[in-house]
Amino acid sequence: MSAPGPVSFTVAVPSCNGVPHIEEALRSILNQQGAAFDIVLSDDHSDDDTVERVRALAGERVRICVNAERLGLAGNWNRCVELCETPLIAIVHQDDVLGHGHVAAHVAAFDRDDRIGLVASASTIIDECGREVPPDVVERGGLGVEGRLFGPGEALSSLACGNPLRCSAVSIRVAAFRDVGGFDPSFRYALDWDFWVRVARAWKLAWLAEPTVRVRWHRASETHRFKPGRADLDEARRMMEHVLELLADPSPLRPRCRARISRAFLNRAHDALRGGRIALARECLAEAFRLSPRILGAILADPRLAAQMTSLAVAPPLARRWFSRRPATTPETPKK
C-alpha cells in the first residue's frame, strides 16, 4: 500500500495484450511504499483478458480506461497523461517490474526542484523468465555511475549517441510534458528518445544511479518487432544526427556516434544474412561503411565475420548458401 498523504504522482500502465507479464508488473506497482500515488491502466483495446486480470488483482485501486480503438504507442502514452490527475507521472510498461522504493525516490527528487522535468533511474535487464540479462548482451544505458542533476540542455551530449534511458525508469512532470507537446506519433522506434531530448533541452533532468526498475527484454518487445528490416536503425540514425545538431560543438561526439550506429547496421547485416535476407544484408553493410569506414577494423578482427561480410559483398549467392541460419557471432545491442 502507498503511504497516506497528498497524491502528487500517477503510475500509468499503457497496456495491449499484456497477459504474460501484466500481473507481475502490477504487483510491483501495488507494493510501492513511501509515497501516495494513483494507478491508471490505459488499455489499447486488448484482445486478451488483460483488463479482467488487472481488475481482479487490483480492484478499485486502479482506474481502468479502455480505448475505443487502438491508438498505437504514442497515442496510448499520450492518453496516459490525459488520464492523469496529478502533476507527476510515470509511464510503466506492462512487462517491466518496479523495485522497492522506486516511486518514493522519484517523488523525493521532483520535490527538490520544481524545474525538474524528468527523473530517471538506472535499471537492470531481465528476460522472459525474470533472469538478469548480461550487459554484454543488452547494454544497461544510463547517465553515469553517480547521481546528478543536469541543467536545461546539459544532458543533450549524453543523449546524442543513443537512448540511454529506459521508459519505465523515467518519471515526467506533466507541465514539462505539455510544454513540449507530448510524445510525437511520427516516431515509431525513437519515440521516447525524442521526448527525452525535447524535455531535457528546456527542463532539468535528475539522474538516480541506483537501479530500481527491471526492464524486460524478450521476443515480443518492440526491438524484435523491428528487427526484420532497418526502419528502427534509420530512425535512430536520423535522431542521432538531430541531437548532434543541437549541440554547440558536435565535432568531438560525431565520430563516436557514427561508429555506434555503424556497428548497429553491421550487426543487422549479420542477422539478415543468417536469415537469408541478402538484399537487406547488403544494404545494411553498405550503410555501415558509409557511416564509419573504420568499421572495417571490427570486421577484420573477427575472421568468421570477415568471411561472411566479404562473401556478402562480392558473392551474395555463396553467402546465402554458406551462412544462412547459422548461429550468431555478433549479437546486436537491443533496445526496448
**97-108: per-residue pLDDT in tens?**
999 999 999 999
Query: In this model, does residue 324 exceed pLDDT 80?
Result: no
User: Where do the domains of the chain lie, and which CATH numbers do they carry?
Assistant: 9-220 (3.90.550.10), 224-323 (no CATH)
Query: In this model, does residue 232 exceed pLDDT 90?
Result: yes
The CA-atom distances, in angstroms, between 142 and each of 76, 119, 122, 155 are 25, 12, 6, 11
Instruction: Annotate 97-118 with DSSP letters as a single string.
Output: EEPTTHHHHHHHHHHT-TTEEE
CB neighbour class for 283 (10 Å; exposed up to 12, middle 13-18, buried from 19): middle
Q: Are 163 and 235 in contact (CB under 8 A)?
A: no
Mean pLDDT over each residue of the chain, to the nearest integer? 91
Mean pLDDT of 320-330: 54
Alpha-carbon 239 to chain mean position: 14
Other Cβ atoms closer than 10 A to 327: 5
Q: Are 219 and 130 in contact (CB under 8 A)?
A: no
**124-161: per-residue pLDDT in tens?**
999 999 999 998 888 889 999 999 999 999 999 999 99
252 phi, psi to nearest 5 deg: -65, -30
What spatial distance separates the first Cα and last Cα of the chain, rounded to whole Å?
29
Question: Helices 278-291 & 303-314, crossing angle to 10 degrees?
Answer: 110
* Of 70, 334, 77, 40, residue with least CA distance to 194: 77
Please report, rounded to a whole number, the percentage of residues in the chain having pLDDT higher than 70: 90
Provide the pLDDT for residue 328. 44
DSSP 132: B
Query: In this model, does residue 220 exceed pLDDT 80?
Result: no
Cα–Cα distance between 300 and 41 in angstroms, integer?
50
Provide the pLDDT for residue 226. 47
Answer with the residue of higher pLDDT: 273 or 62.
62
Q: Report residue 335's pLDDT band, with 50, 70 and 90 as the boundaries.
A: very low
